Amino acid sequence: MRVVIGEDSALFREGIAALLETAGHQIVGRASTGAAAVAQVRAHRPDVAVLDIRMPSENEGIAAALEIRAWDPPTPVMLLSQHIETRQTVELVAAGAIGYLLKDRVLDVDEFLVALDRVASGGTALDPEIVTRLLGAARAGSVLDALTPRELEVLALMAEGWSNQAIAARLFLSERTIETHTGGIFAKLRLSDSPDENRRVRAILAYLDARIS
């Protein structure tokens, strides 16, 4: 893949670049600010952009990602953060082709590369810790009270970006059973049937909006 990296820490930026190059990917642009990252993505049109959320000011990376994702066609974006910051990520996640991982997750190289490939292919990859925070916020508002414990478990894995087949393997259930659970989740969260590929993501976003702090 052709990748642009936006990260204000030179050490971390070059570390990611070395990791990706070792995996066979090409770094076509590097940036230390959100504006520079946007310019690099516009100039090179990479397969995916890896952006720090704070670059260096708070949420500068998110602003860059929103701009990049608004283009036609949009560029997939992997957001990285030192801490869980969910306040302004709802709009991005709803559009798909987005990842949001804690920086510690990059230390698990194989997991990071799999997540990056998923995002570049138009999918979603959310850090499990972030999903737990989002689910906790939603529970506080009783939005998920209608879901069974198993449906909550399936919903959490859906939010991380796993396919039905992968969820079935992780939970030791049949894929048909997972399809039944996802159908129940969509119905209980009142997500109408549509050809929208992002309905799975909207299931995790349906209850967020004003609840994220």
88 phi and psi angles, rounded to 5 deg: -110, 20
Among the listed residues 59, 13, 50, 46, the one whose alpha carbon sits nearest the alpha carbon of residue 32: 13
The answer to whether residue 139 scores a pLDDT higher than 60 is: no
Region at 122 (left for phi over 0; alpha for psi -120 to 50; beta for the rest): left
Q: Is 134 exposed, middle or buried (0-12, 13-18, 19+ CB in 10 A)?
A: buried
Strand partners for 77: 49, 98
Domain boundaries, given as residue ranges, for the chain: 2-126, 131-211
**Percent of the chain's residues with pLDDT above 90:** 33
Percent of the chain scoring above 70 in pLDDT: 78
Give the C-alpha separation, 9 to 55, whole Å. 8
CATH code of the domain occupying 131-211: 1.10.10.10
- pLDDT tens profile 14-50: 999 999 999 999 999 999 999 999 999 999 999 999 9
Q: Which of the four pLDDT bands, split at 50, 70 and 90, describes residue 125? A: confident
Residues 6+ apart with CB under 8 A from 168: 174, 175, 177, 178
Q: Tell me, what amino acid is at 87?
A: R
Q: How many CB atoms lie within 10 A of CB 74?
A: 16
Q: From CA 131, how far away is CA 155, in angstroms rounded?
A: 9
Alpha helices in 2-148 (DSSP H): 10-22, 34-44, 60-69, 90-95, 109-120, 128-140
- Rounded Cα–Cα distance for residues 118 and 161 (Å): 8
Is residue 196 very low, low, confident or very high in pLDDT (cuts 50, 70, 90)?
very low
What are the tokens at 30? 């590097």
Q: In this predicted model, what pLDDT tens digit does every residue of 148-190 receive, in sequence order?
A: 888 888 887 887 778 888 899 989 999 999 999 888 888 887 7
pLDDT computed for residue 96 by the predictor: 63
CATH class, domain 2-126, is: alpha beta
